[in-house]
Amino acid sequence: QKEVEQDPGPLSVPEGAIVSLNCTYSNSAFQYFMWYRQYSRKGPELLMYTYSSGNKEDGRFTAQVDKSSKYISLFIRDSQPSDSATYLCAILLLGGTSYGKLTFGQGTILTVHP
């Protein structure tokens, strides 16, 4: 079982739609939950992170964590064509030999068409 599972999609939605991206994880010791956006042939860009169960909003983006079910989500409201990219969930462990290391999901390819 992979430590972080993410549906690779691809996901195609019309402009203005609400997008839901999801990941599950297996290690309950994970402490930070991150979302990155990666455009083709570019490095990942940090969108937001959270460390507790619940919701965190930043503009059109909402990150949601449910530690009891080991499930994290990213919601994008009013999606735009410029949101078309690969979205990566990543989980951070702060402890032991894995200190500071990010474990990534496979990434979901999102296309928002006009």
**Closest CB 107 distance from other proteins, rounded Å:** 5
Binding segment toward other proteins, per CB under 8 A, in 13-21, 42-50, 61-69, 76-84: 42-50
User: For residues 64 and 51, what is the distance between their CA atoms, to the nearest angstrom?
Assistant: 10
| By the rule CB under 8 A, 77 interacts with other proteins | no
Of the candidates 15, 45, 66, 78, which one interacts with other proteins according to CB under 8 A?
45
| By the rule CB under 8 A, 49 interacts with other proteins | yes
Q: Pick the closer one to other proteins by CB: 16 or 59.
A: 59
Angle, vertex CA 40, rays to CA 101 and CA 108, nearest 5 = 65
| By the rule CB under 8 A, 29 interacts with other proteins | no
- For residues 88-101, one letter each, b for 16 or more C-beta atoms within 10 angstroms of the residue's C-beta and e for the rest, the string is bbbbbbeeeeeeee
User: For residues 44 and 82, what is the distance between their CA atoms, to the nearest angstrom?
Assistant: 15
